[in-house]
Amino acid sequence: MIELPAIELSSVTGGAPAPTGDNAFGRCGPGTSWKFLGNVYTPQCRAHDAAVRAGEANGGSHVLAQIRALPLLPAAIGSYFRARF
């Protein structure tokens, strides 16, 4: 059995930012600029962020990466509302 520290466990369950120091990865909303959204982190928002970053890493533009990640956006939005309200 592998024991996980609390920070790693919370990032897996969507409770905290990734321990990499990138506090926007997995946060619901565009980066950290929209403060009114609160600091909600969910696995679905993390999956959307990962898809966008993978698209950019493969040489795509930010806009194209966002378009390709659109199928994951409804789940991310839903997870935000479930976590927030």
* Number of independent structural domains in the chain: 1
Query: Is residue 19 scored above 50 in pLDDT?
Result: no
Q: In three state form, how does the secondary structure of 19-30 look?
A: CCCCCCCCECCC
E-strand ranges in 1-85 read none
Confidence band for 5, pLDDT divided at 50, 70 and 90? low
- Per the structure, the complete domain to which residue 67 belongs is given by 6-84
pLDDT tens-digit map of 47-70: 999 999 999 999 989 999 999 999
* Residue 35 included in any domain: yes
- Integer Cα distance of 48 and 45 in angstroms: 5
Residues 25-48, mean pLDDT to the nearest whole number? 92
| The token pair that represents 63 in the structure block | 């806009």
Cβ atoms within 10 Å of 34's Cβ, excluding its own? 11
Of the listed ranges 15-19, 45-49, 72-76, the least confidently predicted one is 15-19
Q: Is residue 1 part of a domain?
A: no
Over residues 18-42, mean pLDDT = 82
Taking all residues of the chain, what is their mean pLDDT, rounded to a whole number? 83
